[in-house]
Amino acid sequence: MQVENYQIITGIVTAIIVLLLAGLFIMILVTYSNNRKKKFIQEKKSLEAAFNEQLLKSQLEIQEQTFNTISREIHDNVGQVLSLAKVQLNILDQGDSLDKVLLGDAKESVGKAMTDLRDVAKSLNSERIQLSSLPEITDHELERINRSGIMLTSLCVKGREQNIQEQKKLIIFRIIQEAFHNILKHSQAKNINVNFYYETDKLKIDIIDDGNGFDKDLLLKNDGLGLQNIISRAALIGGEAKINSIINKGTVISIISPYA
């Protein structure tokens, strides 16, 4: 009888211990799950805040870049063309007879100035980026570089163009502008080639120059702020940026981003 009672008590104690351990395990599991959930929410909020901050920064930088470009174009292009037209009209005014050839040249100068001003007006339109595709607004930037006479540019699009999320498009465009800025400032290149590859699930953009090249690791370690911005911005939109450079042979910057 005592043996039976002992076995019953032992069974009850064992069951209680098992239940306590199970309860403790469940508590630990729930606590761990809640902590993971909180951490995930915090990380998500942090990423969203970083994305929004980068988006605003990109918008401001694009505006600043646009205004600087407009200022240069008005001063270097429109201003010079109108000055030439003024000289031509003064010569016509001082002449005894109408020089139709010179008049035609003056009209051509004024027409060119009007065309340049229309391009400037388009640049001021903030909806241009929203309404245009990435290849279109990139081509507009390349045309500006071409007009400067500093470098020759080309653009190639392969695959069927697909829509990309509006906010991502803005940041990608700023990455492209940053790459162009670095090339113009440092590379001493003669050519810039930009290739768009519209793949099934992602967009790849190669920006290629035939300039001086550089040691990427050394530059990133010391003062490669422009390259660091390109890499960090690409990561922020769920993509990546790869930079390959060979000294005296040129550089390839590859931007890879999902569409959504």
**Model pLDDT, residue 197:** 97
The pLDDT value given to residue 127: 62
Output the pLDDT for position 73: 62
Q: What is the DSSP letter of 196?
A: E
Residue 168, pLDDT score? 86
DSSP element (H, E) containing 216? helix 216-222
Rounded distance, CA 146 to CA 191, Å? 10
Tokens for 118? 């229309």
pLDDT, residue 217, reads: 73
What's the angle, vertex CA 193, arms to CA 190 and CA 194, rounded to 5?
Answer: 150
Phi/psi at 238 (5° precision): 80, 15
pLDDT of residue 195: 98
**CA 109 remoteness from chain centre:** 36
The rounded average pLDDT for each run of 10 residues, N- to C-terminus, in the chain (260 residues) is 62 74 77 71 67 66 63 61 69 68 73 68 61 89 83 95 86 90 90 96 96 79 73 89 92 93
- With 0.95 as the threshold, say if the pTM is over it: no
pLDDT on residue 224: 61
C-alpha 220 chain-centroid distance:
19
Q: Alpha carbon of 168 to those of 58, 124, 201: distances in Å? A: 11, 21, 15
